Amino acid sequence: MSRIGNAEFRERADRLRKLMADKGLQACLVYGDEYRKENLRYMSNYWPLFERGAIIVPLVGEPIVIAAPEGELMCREMAAWPDVRLLPQFTCVTVPDEIQYPQANYTSLKAIFDELNAANPLRAIGIAGIDAMPAPLLKAIESSAKDAEWIDAGGLLFQLRMTKTADEIACLKEAARIADEGYKAMIHNVKPGMTELELASYAYGECMRAGAENVPFIVMTSGERVDTIIGRPTRKIIRDGDMIMTAIAVQYEGYVATVGFPFVAGRMSEEQRAFITLLVEAEDIALSKLAPGKRMGELVGAVKSYFADKGVSDYDLYPPLHGCGLAEAESPYPDENSEAAFEAGMTVNTDISLFGHPHGSNRVEESLVVTEDGYESMSALVRQLSRMWKERGVVALPSGDGDRE
């Protein structure tokens, strides 16, 4: 089973300490909660449920994980670090009330920072996750070590997460495999007369059966609803000839891979075929520019130039590529002016899309890893669908699952 071992979390802490030392930081607090889990999961493996969490990584000494009472045992079960402390400010995210937990063994932020200060004087402390935490919590954190300078350290975590280790890539590949299974279930079962919610249920069920930790979202619209960039599945009835725009994001051991490829319920029109061909050809162009050392802006510009040549730039609404990892969309998220270059070990999603086109709106989305000599797709399904589309003009599933004209 693919997973991130404790040794890798220790390596991450050491890498963060090197960046902290360069910035003159003696400690770094990394915040997370159920909704913005990425940085906290990266440093500790803890993913709070209902509550908030954090990890304090000192320049000298072992990290301290912060949790709240209801999730204490879950935190101890998940966390890669044994030192877990409870704080009252980290209870339920969604309510303003002060919740009483009379059996909780609370400490305080001041006590934690006093302890760290005694070991190594705290002159400057970083915070990663300022954008995700409520203002009262930020104020409480900053007041707990008044003599220290507080510095936004979110950029350090994005820097650490930009390239992936072999174990991270293995987790992403497993997430992509599961997403493929969910997507195949939708293609196999779609039929006119069902609702979008019914169609999405096939994917949710199959993904969980296949081992997903979570399904962060299924984007789905159909027919006249497809002009929106994103949309949740609804009770709308899918009709014969409706284009389906959908994408599945699957989370496995914290890592999120996404799959999306256009298909139609019932009979496909020639106009819809031509539209899907635009997306497939544009992704081929994007993939030809995906290799270590190549400028990210060149990939974006190549897709935009293709769409301009085909006269569809008015429907090209955002860049065709972004990073993936502990979030479905993370850095890098380049535009055509980006000078940054791809590096081996980066993981990205193509997101080749057109919206508001007279014959449909849709995207091709595929999770990929940049390798030493090019790229590797993490979605066997998207590669197969793309190949079969170019060969036969159908959305074809593996042998035995049938074709959808």
Domain final position from 127, 161, 195 = 161
Check whether 39 has a pLDDT greater than 70. Answer: yes
Bridge-partner residues for 246, per DSSP?
Answer: 220
Average pLDDT over residues 307-333: 96
Amino acid at 242: D
DSSP state of 59: S
Instruction: Locate 239 and state its tokens.
Output: 């009709």
List, for residues 200-233, the tens digit of each pLDDT value.
999 999 999 999 999 999 999 999 999 888 999 9
Q: At what angle do helices 270-288 and 380-392 cross, to 10 degrees?
A: 130
Instruction: Locate 396 and state its tokens.
Output: 């074809």
Average pLDDT over residues 61-86: 97
Counting the structural domains of the chain, the total is: 2
Check whether 134 has a pLDDT greater than 60. Answer: yes
1 located within any domain: no
| Same-domain status, 224 and 317 | yes
Note down the domain range covering 258: 166-404
| Same-domain status, 138 and 186 | no
Domain final position from 143, 161, 179 = 161
120 located within any domain: yes
| CA 363 to the chain's CA centroid | 17
246 located within any domain: yes
pLDDT band at 398 (very low <50, low <70, confident <90, very high): low
Per the document, the length of the chain is 405
| Same-domain status, 146 and 255 | no
Instruction: Locate 306 and state its tokens.
Output: 């293709």
List, for residues 254-310, the tens digit of each pLDDT value.
999 999 999 999 999 999 999 999 999 999 999 999 999 999 999 999 999 999 999
| Same-domain status, 189 and 40 | no
| Same-domain status, 367 and 387 | yes
DSSP state of 347: E
15 located within any domain: yes
| Same-domain status, 37 and 70 | yes
Average pLDDT over residues 171-200: 97
pLDDT band at 401 (very low <50, low <70, confident <90, very high): low
* CATH assignment at residue 202: 3.90.230.10
| Same-domain status, 40 and 143 | yes
Average pLDDT over residues 390-399: 81
Q: How many CB atoms lie under 10 A from the CB of residue 199?
A: 23
- C-beta of residue 177 within 8 angstroms of C-beta of residue 248: no
| Same-domain status, 223 and 253 | yes
324 located within any domain: yes
312 located within any domain: yes
pLDDT of residue 204: 97
Q: With pLDDT > 70 as the criterion, what percentage of the chain qualifies?
A: 98
pLDDT of residue 397: 77
pLDDT of residue 399: 59
- Average the pLDDT over each of 97-106, 182-191, 312-321 and give the range with the smallest value: 97-106
Q: DSSP string of 196-245?
A: HHHHHHHHHHHHHHTT-SEEEEEEEEEGGGGGSSS----SPBP-TT-EEE
Check whether 1 has a pLDDT greater than 80. Answer: no
| Same-domain status, 256 and 381 | yes
306 located within any domain: yes
244 located within any domain: yes
Domain final position from 111, 140, 161 = 161
Average pLDDT, the chain: 95
Residue 120 CB contacts under 8 Å (≥ 6 apart), including other chains: 26, 58, 59, 60, 61
Q: How far apart are CA 15 and CA 182, in angstroms?
A: 36
| Same-domain status, 97 and 241 | no
* CATH assignment at residue 63: 3.40.350.10
| Same-domain status, 242 and 284 | yes
Average pLDDT over residues 193-204: 98
| Same-domain status, 81 and 143 | yes
Q: How far apart are CA 201 and CA 392, in angstroms?
A: 29
pLDDT of residue 97: 84
